[in-house]
Chain A
Amino acid sequence: MIEIKDLHASVDGKAILKGINLTIGAGEVHAIMGPNGSGKSTLSNIIAGRDGYTVTKGSITYKGKNLLEMSPEQRSWEGIFLAFQYPVEIPGVNNTYLLKAGVNAKRKHQGLQELDAIEFLQIVREKAKLVELDQSFLSRGVNEGFSGGEKKRNEIFQMAVLEPSLALLDETDSGLDIDALRIVANGVNHLRSKDRSVVMVTHYQRLLDYIQPDVVHVLMDGKILKTGGKDLALELEERGYDWVRQEAAA
């Protein structure tokens, strides 16, 4: 699905990613853990195509194509989705309207007929049910006045509608109560299939109780210092991160 090779990236001349190597196959679920400020959001943002980062070295190949050459919207059309750590509010822009524009832009790109309002509304209603998002959120401004948890749920709702091939969830579980966590996990598990991949950035083992990862990575100091199975997450929860660094230095 995606192959990241020796990725170095900086912001304002400050090196943040210092040689990331990561390969994610179709159908796999990977978790990325690591202390604050280690570069997890930077990595997610670079994959999604955010401006402001300079890739100084390395490559990202997605479905056989050079990802770094694509605009963020092209990446979205090709199936990349980022659930933001901090979703922004866009006052006055109807939530459903934004999504419909996105879905139809993608369909146009794929040479498919655009969905009309009624067809789209059907899809949206169904997906809203999946993440237990009240219908009233559909017609509100994008994230306008949503609580933290509602914003996160809205991200998962958008993911469900856009049906990406590679979903990046950047701390979607942070700040969620247990019910919301279950709902979010449900949405992700629903999406799981043999030709879709998921990357979950998280600090907590508890999300991984709901969504079983195939691989767990530890991102520290701009590098992936350790990779393991889901037991690694348990170990991190127990022992913290310092030992990983020591082990890597040894």
Chain B
Amino acid sequence: MSDVKTEHKPESFTNREYEAGFITDIETDTLPPGLDEDVIRHISAKKNEPEWLLNWRLEAFRHWQTMTEPHWPNVTYPPIDYQSVSYYSAPKSQADGPKSLDEVDPKLLETYAKLGIPLREQEFLAGVAVDAVFDSVSVATTFKGKLKDAGVIFCPISEAVQEYPELVQQYLGTVVPTGDNFYAALNSAVFTDGSFVYIPKGVRCPMELSTYFRINALNTGQFERTLIIADKGSYVSYLEGCTAPQRDENQLHAAVVELVILDDAQIKYSTVQNWYPGDENGIGGIYNFVTKRADCRGQRARVSWTQVETGSAITWKYPSCVLRGDDSVGEFYSVALTKMHQQADTGTKMIHIGKNTSSTIVSKGISAGFGQQSYRGLVRIAKSAEGARNHTQCDSLLIGDKCGAHTFPYVEVKNPTATMEHEASTSKIGEDQLFYCQSRGISEEDAVNMIVNGFCKDVFNELPMEFAVEANRLMEVSLEGAVG
């Protein structure tokens, strides 16, 4: 029944009036703004990286210099001066990376506790391991020991470079090549931290893995890089959450996430993104330019992206699935909310290459206030993809009459045996629906929440239980004052 409430109601990511907007006053080691090869050498040296990785970064940087920012997304913002951004900031106390939780700066523990993410293992949600990334560095990873016993590697990517260099070298950049797009190239050049996960053959990861990204420092970009490898027959469910302080300046976030899925393996990747969206006049907020891609390299490999996106001033994000292995399956479930002056251009790409590959797209867009949202999706069926199937469902819900919803579905079918289904709808929260709820004793605000949550249900159902509850709440908080 939908009435079941979990006792444990995590408060993370969601806070009235963007309570995640506080700033942690902590001494930092921050590079001055600007980007050149010296900055990249500096970052690489800070992280004590091997030669190959420095060269990889420099190559990406040189490529990036030849590229131009994409202007096809349906969003508008003033030009970004990439030389005015600082590309590295870390809490001073964390310079050498904490050896254990006891060494983590109490100020950081406090920051995460305030966000509802207690990093002390005994306090944290049972069954969820967390990697906490603060600006450019990972500050803590919990339950490492327990995971290690299962053979699972879950650590900051900077640590993986030291400890498991051969794994990193084998897979890094193989899903999203350095020159893939403008932001991916930038990320490859300057990425600072992020999570690394390796699930060995036949292992079902014994707990949920989660990374919590926090941008704190002023004028700093966050460029995290996540790499997850699910070896044959393995399974992992991974969740990322994001918040940032409330600042009048826009801040840049350009992440890359690469997923590699081998034969019979499965990755379930969930995102609850609540970056600071800017204020009611559209001042401030995070620019969220993200490249996420999963490569189903093996037969019967499965991947699902589930995202709940309520934050950021501008979102540019298309988690994609390359269905290379025969019978591989890709899924994309998305709820995106744009309110106030938020703009989002988001969707997915499903690239069918293997035989009998199938993909599902469920996109739910909600616009309120002056929010503008575009769904942009590509389904490509290659000539080799005999018997491929896609089902796309793309619904938009409008609250008020100053917001907008747009859809750009692209379909390329090179194999005639493909089965394609597409459903789309745009609706307004009806006065009649609101009145119906009110006449049953429910306030207008609760009625809006109820209707929106109903609209999002197919997506929320895909989230792990604890986070589904949280996603509901995040929606409620985000919608506060959106109507009326």
Contacts and interface: CB of A to CB of B under 8 A. Distances in A.
Contacts, number: 99
Interface string A104-148: 011000000000010011000000000000000001011000000
Interface stretch (A12-20, A58-66, A70-78, A212-220): A70-78
Contacts of A35: none
B451 interface: yes
Given A92-B458, A117-B3, A76 B439 contact: yes
B461 to A, nearest CB: 10
Contacts of A105: 441-443, 446
Contacts of B438: 49, 71-73, 76
Contacts of A102: 437, 440-442
B442 A90 contact: no
A99 B440 contact: yes
Nearest to A117: B3
- Which of A82, A87, A98 gathers the greatest number of chain B CB atoms within 10 Å? A98
Contacts of A90: 433, 436-437, 450-451, 454
A178 B91 CA distance: 75
A248 interface: no
A166 to B, nearest CB: 12
A52 B381 CA distance: 50
Given A77-B441, A92-B455, A98 B3 contact: no
Interface residues of B, number: 28
B272 interface: no
A50 interface: yes
Contacts of B22: none
A193 to B, nearest CB: 20
B457 interface: yes
A88 B433 contact: yes
A46 B433 CA distance: 16
B126 interface: no
B456 interface: yes
Nearest to B3: A117
B396 to A, nearest CB: 14
Nearest to B4: A117
Interface in B1-21: 1-5
B441 A106 contact: yes
Interface in A23-65: 48-52
B421 interface: no
Given A90-B433, A96-B1, A162 B441 contact: yes
A103 interface: yes
B32 to A, nearest CB: 50
B181 interface: no
A84 interface: yes
Interface string B14-45: 00000000000000000000000000000000
B312 to A, nearest CB: 25
A139 B5 CA distance: 16
B327 to A, nearest CB: 31
Contacts of A84: 436, 439
A101 B5 CA distance: 14
B432 interface: yes
Interface string B405-445: 00000000000000000000000001111011111111110
A158 interface: yes
B454 A81 contact: no
A227 interface: no
Nearest to A82: B439
Contacts of A91: 454-455
A100 interface: yes
12 contacts: A49-B438, A75-B439, A76-B438, A90-B437, A93-B451, A97-B450, A99-B440, A101-B442, A105-B443, A120-B3, A139-B2, A142-B436
